[in-house]
Amino acid sequence: MRRRTLVLATSLAGAFALASAAAASNGGVAPVPPVSPNGQRITDAYWVILGITGAVFVIVEATLLTFVIRYRRRGRPKYQEGDQIAGDRNVEIAWTAVPVLLLAAVVAFVFYQLPGIKNVPPASASGGPLDITVEGHQFYWLFKYPSGRESINNLFVPVNRVVSLTIVSADVAHSFWVPAFGGKTDAIPGRTNHTWFQAQKAGVYRIRCAEFCGILHTNMQGSVHVGATAAPVSGLGKAAFEGVCASCHGLAGQGLIGPAIATSPTLQDPKALRALVHDGKGLMPPVGDTWDDRLTNALIAYVQQRFGGSGGG
């Protein structure tokens, strides 16, 4: 009885530990509720696989505990062999064939779902996909729209419009992931990857970088604004400063992992600031090496206005 109690207590403790870990990571074992068709397919595959593997786990563990209790030593001398039980061919065939069939079912279901996850839906009466380029940088996301507009860390898209993303990297490997929209897509230097989504509900959805990309990896976040309009050019400079410069130098230019810049004369020298942003200097990486003049000029105008009283020159 004491051993049975110990086995039961150990099993319950393990189950509670696993449940606590799952709850601490994302609030439970369930994925984020999907709002895009491809995200729904990924969630469907998740639940099918979880259901099958969970059922197998319960059956195997229940059988194991049953055999541990049923065939325990029961006071038999330590070195005396237990009863020898002959094998059962039917049982052996079953425990070989059933896992094969279960794995085949999982593989078949996943391959059935893959086209709807990967392939961009065909053009509809409302028009073709909205093509947007996503550039991963240390440590921000730059979005380029067909109209020539740009935004940093905030992606603006309409409701129910298919959005086709071309994903690239300007420096190191990143991974673009919006949990509510589907799977992760790598941003790899020298390579172009593609993904898509169709947000079916207005709202704001979090963007994460799912690939360790450097010291500020955890700060490389953003949002998809579904049903909102992209910020005008007048707000682009502020977005560039807060999304790019402030991540290293602080929102007030007070310095974080990078030096304080609030009183730097470089902020009031358009030529020097442009060169610094595009080419970098010392430990400062070329954070804007892919920027066009519109984005660079917007940043220069913003920092000159904001720090004009403290930079001098």
Identify the pLDDT of residue 72: 75
pLDDT confidence of residue 77? 76
Judgement on whether residues 143 and 210 belong to the same structural domain of the protein: yes
Q: Which of 170, 199, 231 is the last residue of a domain?
A: 231
Residue 270: CB partners within 8 Å, gap ≥ 6? 300, 304
Same domain membership, residue 142 and residue 113: no
User: Over the stretch 142-161, which tens digit does the pLDDT of each residue have?
Assistant: 999 998 899 999 999 999 99
Query: Per residue in 60-115, pLDDT tens?
Result: 999 999 988 887 767 777 777 767 777 788 888 998 999 999 999 999 999 999 88
Say which DSSP state 42 is in. Answer: H
CATH number of the domain at 280, please.
1.10.760.10
Within a domain: 4: no
Which residue in this structure is represented by tokens 């895009």? 36
Q: With a cut of 70, say whether residue 18 has pLDDT above it.
A: no
- Model pTM above 0.75: yes
Confidence of residue 311 (pLDDT cuts 50, 70, 90): very low
Instruction: Tell me the residue range of the domain where 209 lies.
Output: 130-231
pLDDT at 21: 53
Least confident interval from 11-20, 78-87, 165-174: 11-20
Residue 313: the pLDDT is 32
5 domain-assigned: no
- 276 within a domain of the structure (yes/no): yes
Residue 61 counted as domain residue? yes
With respect to residue 293, please indicate whether it lies within any of the assigned structural domains: yes
Q: Based on the fold, state whether residues 226 and 137 are members of the same structural domain.
A: yes
Do 36 and 110 share a domain, yes or no?
Answer: yes
Classify residue 20: in a domain, yes or no: no
Q: Which residue has the tokens 């093509």?
A: 131
Same structural domain, 66 and 94:
yes
Mean pLDDT of 205-234: 84
Residue 265 falls inside a structural domain: yes
For residue 287, the tally of other CB atoms under 10 A from its CB is 24
Q: What is the pLDDT of residue 17?
A: 58
Q: Classify residue 295: in a domain, yes or no.
A: yes
Q: How many domains does the chain have?
A: 3
Domain boundary among 173, 205, 231: 231
DSSP 77-92: -TTS--------HHHH
Residues 139 and 194 in one domain: yes
pLDDT at 273 over 70: yes
Of the CA atoms within 13 Å of residue 166, those in its CB half-sphere come to 11
Any idea what the CATH number is for the domain that residue 186 is in?
2.60.40.420
Identify whether residues 172 and 98 lie together within a single domain. no
* CA proximity to 137, closest of 287, 298, 295, 296: 287
CA 241, 246, 250, 254 torsion-angle sign: negative
